[in-house]
């Protein structure tokens, strides 16, 4: 029987360890696997962050496509909606777009609150769109709450004005990206 570390052979009546002493295994394989695991987790986190960031970057294009498709739906359903509902639908679609695109609290304000905030220059909207939106909101309020006899004749021009606001915002965004 071979013993390590210079042990002598014990006599027949002596007690001795039955465990053979071995050298301590190196710690480097555990360190290697721990570092590899941390790098793998960091890579997964970076990949998730990248895909979420990329998805949010596409939300601008989807905000535009959402509002354009909503405008088309509203125009197609014109016969089913009265003037008040039609104007409200256009206004809601436009407010959703502006809130999503520019993180402006317009969606949660009345028209009067927005107009007051605009007069104090406290909004996130592009400068060319501000007066267009103010005029749109006034006309929309007139159609929604005025109950005038010619309200139906103002609906399609109101939709066109909303589309002009969206186009003005997109034009400013394209110019910003180009510059």
Residue 46 is predicted with a pLDDT of 95
Q: DSSP assignment of the chain, as one string? A: ---STTPPPPPTTS----SPP-PPPPSHHHHHHHHHHHHHHHHHHHHHHHHHHHHHHHHHHHHHHHHHHHHHHHHHTGGGS-HHHHHHHHHHHHHHHHHHHH--GGGGS-HHHHHHHHHTT---S-TTHHHHHHHHHHHHHHHHHH--TTGGGGHHHHHHHHHHHHHHHHHHHHHHHH-
Residue 11 is predicted with a pLDDT of 67
- Ranges of the chain with pLDDT below 70: 1-12, 14-19, 55-61, 121-122, 179
Residue 127 is predicted with a pLDDT of 80
Residue 43 is predicted with a pLDDT of 96
Residue 30 is predicted with a pLDDT of 94
């Amino acid at each position: 029987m071979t013993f390590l570390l210079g042990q002598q052979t014990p006599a027949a009546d002596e007690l001795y360890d039955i465990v053979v002493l071995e050298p301590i295994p190196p710690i480097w394989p555990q360190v290697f696997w721990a570092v590899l695991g941390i790098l793998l987790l960091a890579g997964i986190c970076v990949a998730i962050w990248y895909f979420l960031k990329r998805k949010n970057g596409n939300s601008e294009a989807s905000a535009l496509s959402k509002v354009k498709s909503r405008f088309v739906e509203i125009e197609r359903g014109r016969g089913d909606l009265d003037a008040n509902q039609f104007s409200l639908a256009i206004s809601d679609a436009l407010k959703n777009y502006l809130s999503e695109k520019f993180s402006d609290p317009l969606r949660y304000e009345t028209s009067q609150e927005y107009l007051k905030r605009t007069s104090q220059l406290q909004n996130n909207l592009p400068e060319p769109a501000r007066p267009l939106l103010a005029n749109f909101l006034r006309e929309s309020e007139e159609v929604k709450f005025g109950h005038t006899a010619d309200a139906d004749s103002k609906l399609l021009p109101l939709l066109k004005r909303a589309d002009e606001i969206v186009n003005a915002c997109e034009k400013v965004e394209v110019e910003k990206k180009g510059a």
